[in-house]
Structure 1
Amino acid sequence: MTNSVNSATRRARWTTLIAAGAAVVSLAAGSLPASADERTPAPATGTARGHQPVDTAALAALMAPGAVANGTMVRVGGHGGVRWTGATGPLSQDPEANFRIGSITKLFTSTVALQLIGEGRFTMDTPVQEVLPGTLPAHWQPITVGQLLSHTSGLQMPCVEFGKDEHPAPEQVIAHWTAPGCAAPQYPVLTQQYNGANYFLLGMVIEKATGRPYADEVQRRIARPLGLRHTYSPKAGDGSLPGPALAEAGDIDPWAWAEGGMISNAPDLERFMAALLRGRLLKPSQQRQLFTMPALSEGNVDRYSMSGMMRAEADGAVVWGKTGSMGPSTSGVFATDRGARTVVYSLVPVTKDRTQMRVHLGRLITAAL
């Protein structure tokens, strides 16, 4: 049986993958140029996930520019290094091209927060109000760090938003979420509800606990130790994207910060994800939080662990990762157990059909993994 047939049998299991900020493509078959330095996919032997061949024919078909996306980049890696990489449409063919990673930023934020928990700075059960007194309305019930990480805080979406030319401080963003007339958290919290406000508060908790800027902590604790030369959190108001850029810059979210403001590239994201899943960044007790699913996630289309990482299944294999959108691009990084196989993608969607996008993302990742 060919890999393409195997991919087809796995697609149905990916219908629970997508989250806010993720997008996918459904395209006709077409040719796929490899990147300049990796024209031929690396050889693979065996049938275990992480060693099976990449389904390059399926990837080529899914990445061809069409009615849903006009360009797609995919990088497949894992044990043994890069297995395959390529880009279509107007996207840069440079395998180290930079792009805004959107809500993939949340994985960096949660990793720093879990490191601080491992150092005893606070716990999963520490109320945010204890670390950041006066930040949330006094009449609200306590919201814990663990609830922020797992999107089980009950926080509602903002009723006031910023203009694209505004560059608010994190405290101003939270003030918009908690302004008079905005919805208060729902009690009791009955389900997991994905919300960027959780990660703005986590960024503020990180800064309060360390006495240093969030961006500095990401560099000190993750980017520099792992050699992530293209990964950083830009300063407020910095709309630049260093070259080579994967795609046109487009409009950016002025208040993304610890929730979705970082810049990176495919090799860096691959390295970060592998290090995270292999236990290089967290102590064992915090490492377990990466994969522990809160009870409130049961029954949700999109499920997040206690660390805020997405969980999905493909052909019986559990896959972990995160999606994100910023400017014109939608991106994601996913990996199997301990990073045996990883996939990083970024595409420029031209449709708002979420169902079509959801189905295609499953096919794209299944072909890669």
Structure 2
Amino acid sequence: MKTYKSINLEKVFNKTMVNKRIHDGIVYMEDTTGEFSWNKGYGGKELDSPMLMASITKLLTTACILILQEQGKLSLRNKISEFLDQEHLSGLHIYKSKEYSFDLLLSDLLFQISGLPDKFEEKKSSTKRKVINQDFSFSIHELLHWAKELKPHFIPRTNGKAYYSDLNFDLLGEIIEKVNGTTLAEAYQQLIFIPLGLKNTYLPQSENDFIPHIYYKDKVLNRPMFICSCRASGGAVTTAREMMIFIKAFFGGKLFNKIIFDELANYNKLQITMGPISYGGGYMRITLGGLLMPFMKKGELLGHSGSTGSFAFYYPQKDIFFVGDVNQFANPSLPIRLSIKLALGV
């Protein structure tokens, strides 16, 4: 039976939770077999407490795309114009006076190598700034309109270039609906939640669905309209217990043949604001070691974090999965730093 020093994990957890910006949190760790299992909550948050997945939702979207590819319903080499309205795509990606909108592939979206901008973070009028002050909804057509007002960052598939943009996954969500012939919520249910027996994980459809609040510094934000609009890029709700089931299935081959990871493990460094994160085919990679962590043997965390403090990572070198939430919208680096410290702790 595998054993780890839980006292190290306790220290990491307690030191993180004393941050004055953290009001509640949960960490849950297990190995593949479940022989090793450790969890701890703070501020009343427990294994079955609802939590926003935020950008971990992108792993749900990735899983659906890979499942549909296995079913022969699409290919990562398909152009997105085969599935999306050409009128809406027109003018989306114009770089140095040349249009690339109709050259975009599904893989460009999945690997974050489309060059498309991100309205959520860019400019002073970013949606992130706006959502701190008010709740609002938006449609995919509004997202496309906003993106057309911004400049793409590079030609799609430029060697070594990647740029994190929620729009890439919002477009993948539209493609899933088109190919599967269902809503995105129904696709998640059919392709992921039912096969894995997840009963407390869902994509909210309206303000009547329960949506957990989030914190921005000390301010409580209730943003049901915004969360319902995020959909494929960041709209799902789950619990730590069920997120563990999902992340194990994602990397363990229970949803799709994990041999696909040979193809997905083509990583590019993201923009500088994303810190040490590289992006592969639908998931993040954080390399452990190098100048930032000179005492750490080389390894990597694979998975995703969310802007509201959520995280779900696999540490292959130790066969450990980390999931949890620190519920803080003001500092998206918190879950990354915590995940790295937990890796050091085991």
TM-score bracket for this pair, using the shorter chain length: 0.7 to 0.9
Tell me how far apart the structure 2 counterparts of residues 165 and 302 of structure 1 sit (CA, whole Å): 29
More helix by proportion, 1 or 2?
2
Instruction: Give the Å deviation of 1:65.
Output: 2.4
| Ranges in structure 2 where 5+ consecutive residues have no aligned partner | 92-98, 289-295
The answer to whether 1:342 aligns with 2:317 is no
Instruction: Give the Å deviation of 1:81.
Output: 4.9
Choose the corresponding residue for 2:80, options 128, 151, 154. Answer: 128
The aligned residue for residue 266 of structure 2 is 293
Per mean C-alpha deviation after superposition, the further-off stretch among 357-366 and 125-134 is 357-366
3-state SS of paired residue (2:221): coil
The aligned residue for residue 287 of structure 2 is 312
The aligned residue for residue 116 of structure 2 is 155
Instruction: Give the Å deviation of 1:315.
Output: 3.1
- Aligned 8 A contact 1:102 1:324 in 2: yes
The aligned residue for residue 66 of structure 2 is 114
Choose the corresponding residue for 2:235, options 243, 261, 285. Answer: 261
Instruction: Give the Å deviation of 1:285.
Output: 4.7
Q: Provide Cα deviations, 1:16-68, integer angstroms capped at 9, x if missing partner.
A: xxxxxxxxxxxxxxxxxxxxxxxxxxxx64xxxxx433333423432442335
The aligned residue for residue 107 of structure 2 is 146
- Aligned 8 A contact 2:322 2:339 in 1: no
Tell me how far apart the structure 2 counterparts of residues 353 and 307 of structure 1 sit (CA, whole Å): 19
Instruction: Give the Å deviation of 1:305.
Output: 1.1
Amino-acid identity (%): 19
Q: Provide Cα deviations, 1:124-173, integer angstroms capped at 9, x if missing partner.
A: 11111121132311543411100100100000122774764432232332
Cα 1:205–1:249, aligned 2, differ >3 Å: closer, same or farther? farther
The answer to whether 1:205 aligns with 2:205 is no
The aligned residue for residue 28 of structure 2 is 75
The answer to whether 1:61 aligns with 2:14 is yes
Per mean C-alpha deviation after superposition, the further-off stretch among 181-190 and 197-206 is 181-190
3-state SS of paired residue (2:278): coil
Matching residue's letter, 2:18: P
- Aligned 8 A contact 2:252 2:258 in 1: no
Cα 1:289–1:265, aligned 2, differ >3 Å: closer, same or farther? farther
Aligned length: 309
Cα 1:171–1:67, aligned 2, differ >3 Å: closer, same or farther? same
Matches of residues 184-263 of structure 1 in structure 2 within 5 Å? 184=152, 186-187=154-155, 189=158, 191-238=161-208, 240-241=210-211, 250-252=221-223, 253-254=226-227, 255-263=229-237
Tell me how far apart the structure 1 counterparts of residues 107 and 338 of structure 2 sit (CA, whole Å): 32
Instruction: Give the Å deviation of 1:357.
Output: 7.3
3-state SS of paired residue (1:104): helix
CA RMSD of aligned residues (A): 3.2
Per mean C-alpha deviation after superposition, the further-off stretch among 191-200 and 231-240 is 231-240
Higher relative contact order (CA 8 A, sep 6+): 1
Instruction: Give the Å deviation of 1:192.
Output: 0.8
Matching residue's letter, 2:306: G
| Ranges in structure 1 where 5+ consecutive residues have no aligned partner | 1-43, 46-50
- Aligned 8 A contact 2:306 2:332 in 1: no
Per mean C-alpha deviation after superposition, the further-off stretch among 186-195 and 225-234 is 186-195
Choose the corresponding residue for 1:333, options 308, 312, 315. Answer: 312
- Aligned 8 A contact 2:305 2:335 in 1: no
Tell me how far apart the structure 1 counterparts of residues 208 and 37 of structure 2 sit (CA, whole Å): 34
Cα 1:66–1:311, aligned 2, differ >3 Å: closer, same or farther? closer
Instruction: Give the Å deviation of 1:236.
Output: 4.2
Cα 1:338–1:216, aligned 2, differ >3 Å: closer, same or farther? farther
Cα 1:274–1:338, aligned 2, differ >3 Å: closer, same or farther? farther
